[in-house]
């Protein structure tokens, strides 16, 4: 089966391409680096020729309100039109847990538009909403940096390792279309401030994390359900196998500091 992975050279995409190839599929890693650009349409028709499944894990290069909306609107329309012309049988897209609850953010407004475009198209689809990636913990800490402290929300998160995201996306890509949404998350629900303190300590960073429920997360004041998967009976989010300690144990060790004279 031919599968095209949009964003196939990125963090999730590169792992996903390898997993799908290992399971015997013909896989095309599509990105601007390989001559396929969903925003301009360059190379899109040729890439999708003969494809049965398209997995979209691409992301906007800018998170500013106007560019990110332009990216997801234009890319989504271009991609879905090209898929319809090519006879693609399953569109799988990676989105974010809590998208509809975080509409004060331009990024999440754009992700919701992307989801609505997929739902309105006539192509069978599966939308996979993931929690925050563990690989982004450093960037989240930097976003709250204030001298020797890091100020962040104390609300709950349930981060997932990129390996678990890629494994889930591979299974959904090879399965039947849900024509709906699925949620994936890591195995540990924990306060963001607590988790970041563990992360900084494990990486040799001596800064102190200050958690407060009212501290915004990229401009949004959270509650404990904002970034966590549904716990309603019957919703059954897919839970990854890699917890924070296991993931942290696989990260490069911080460089040793030179001894003082």
**For 147-203, what is each residue's pLDDT tens digit?**
999 999 999 999 999 999 999 999 999 999 999 999 999 999 999 999 999 999 999
- Among the listed residues 210, 187, 5, 220, the one whose alpha carbon sits nearest the alpha carbon of residue 91: 5
Mean pLDDT (whole number) for 75-103: 97
Tokens coding 121: 């198209």
194-242 pLDDT, tens per residue? 999 999 999 999 999 999 999 999 889 999 999 999 988 778 999 999 9
pTM over 0.85: yes
For the chain, the domains span 2-249
Q: For the domain covering 2-249, report its CATH number.
A: 3.40.50.720
What average pLDDT is seen over the chain? 95
- Classify the C-alpha dihedral 98-101-107-112 as positive or negative: positive
């Amino acid at each position: 089966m031919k599968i095209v992975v949009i964003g196939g050279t990125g963090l999730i995409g590169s792992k996903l391409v390898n997993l799908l190839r290992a399971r015997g599929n013909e896989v095309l890693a599509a990105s601007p680096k390989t001559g396929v650009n969903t925003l301009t349409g360059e190379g899109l028709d040729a890439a999708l020729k003969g494809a049965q499944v398209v997995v979209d894990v691409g992301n906007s290069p800018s998170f500013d309100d106007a560019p990110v909306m332009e990216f997801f609107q234009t890319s989504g329309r271009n991609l879905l039109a090209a898929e319809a012309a090519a006879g693609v049988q399953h569109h799988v897209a990676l989105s974010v847990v809590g998208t509809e609850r975080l509409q004060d953010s331009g990024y999440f407004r754009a992700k919701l538009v992307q989801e609505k475009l997929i739902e309105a198209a006539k192509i069978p689809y599966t939308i996979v909403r993931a929690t925050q990636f563990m690989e982004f913990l450093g960037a989240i800490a930097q976003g709250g940096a204030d001298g020797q402290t890091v100020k962040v929300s104390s609300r709950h998160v349930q981060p997932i390792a990129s390996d678990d995201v890629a494994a889930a996306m591979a299974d959904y890509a090879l399965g039947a279309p849900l024509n709906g949404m699925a949620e994936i998350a890591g195995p540990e629900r924990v306060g963001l401030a607590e988790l970041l303190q563990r992360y900084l300590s494990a990486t040799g960073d001596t800064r102190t994390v200050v958690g407060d429920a009212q501290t915004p997360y990229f401009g949004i004041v959270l509650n404990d359900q904002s970034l966590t998967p549904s716990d309603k009976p019957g919703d059954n989010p897919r839970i990854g196998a890699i917890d924070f300690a296991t993931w942290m144990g696989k990260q490069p060790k911080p460089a040793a500091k030179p001894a003082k004279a």
